[in-house]
Amino acid sequence: LRARPRMFLVLFAACMVFFSTVQSFYHADLSPVAYCTPETSAKQKCQSKIDVFVNRLSSTNSLLGFDYGRFDLCMPEHVQHPRENLGQVVFGDRISNSPYTVLFQKSNKCAFVCKKEYQSNDSSAMERLQFLIDGIKNNYFHYWIIDNMPVTWCVDANSLQRPSTSSFDVQCSTGFPLGCHVAEDGQARDACRIYESLKKPGSVYVFNHVDIMVTFNPGKHGRALLISAKVTPRSIKHPEAGHAVDCWNPKLPPMDIGSQDSGQPLVI
């Protein structure tokens, strides 16, 4: 047997933004397609834009699922929903487009998507913030789709501080968490157990950044097929307005939304 050659496309996106049950699906409107670079898409008659779709958020700690926009996340200017089949309706799927711009073979190390601001004297804003905090504490998960494939999140099983149920050191999930929190007694909960920087007692961290890696097979005549899509969520608190977005400064602290300075707006 001949091994198929593989290439990797690494894409990084900033967003506003343990393991759950595996979800399987096939959506006729999201069927796999051939991809090529923007420079050759017209000639090759293939697609250069990789669409990122989002689904409802859910949690193993609750029977309630919520639409993507309910958590005050970054939304596209025009929200569109592909057709849903009966099975998806029965299981509560609510798929929509996302604000993420991903182009085939075009790496982006740090892209700004949106900003959310919460003023303590704005009751509506504080209600949205509290809903986000509650969602993080209840371990709600994102479920994204790229090229009709679930976007997976993989972590080192040893970092979960529990016996591995697999013979592999890496465990993957078809979703990724909205954030994580640390109890007042300093006990890290859920995803906070695998991030060394997320350890402050009483903190609620939002994963406001994601790193996306798309793997593809080059195929023939420059028409590639996507093989997998993986995401790594991160929490980053950026400097005050006026500074450029920096996704890779190790000195930047994580984004703790559990406590706000009196009179100061919280900006995510």
Which residues in the chain land under pLDDT 70?
1-32, 83-93, 157-168, 241-243, 261-263
Phi-psi region of 165 (alpha: psi -120 to 50; beta: other; left: phi over 0): alpha
**Residue 236: predicted pLDDT:** 94
pLDDT of residue 108: 87
pTM: 0.82
Instruction: Extract the tokens encoding 96.
Output: 């929509």
Mean pLDDT, all residues of the chain: 81
pLDDT, residue 2, reads 42
Two structure tokens written together for 32: 């796999």
Local structure of 44: helix, strand or coil: helix
pLDDT tens per residue across span 220-232: 777 899 999 999 9
pLDDT of residue 116: 93
3-class DSSP string for 138-168:
CCCEECEEECCEECEEEEEHHHHCCCCCCCC
Q: What is the pLDDT of residue 239?
A: 80
- Round to whole Å and give the CA distance between 212 and 233: 9
Question: How far is the C-alpha of 232 from the C-alpha of 234, rounded, in Å?
Answer: 7
pLDDT at 55: 93
Q: Among 264, 34, 17, which Cα is nearest to 132's?
A: 17
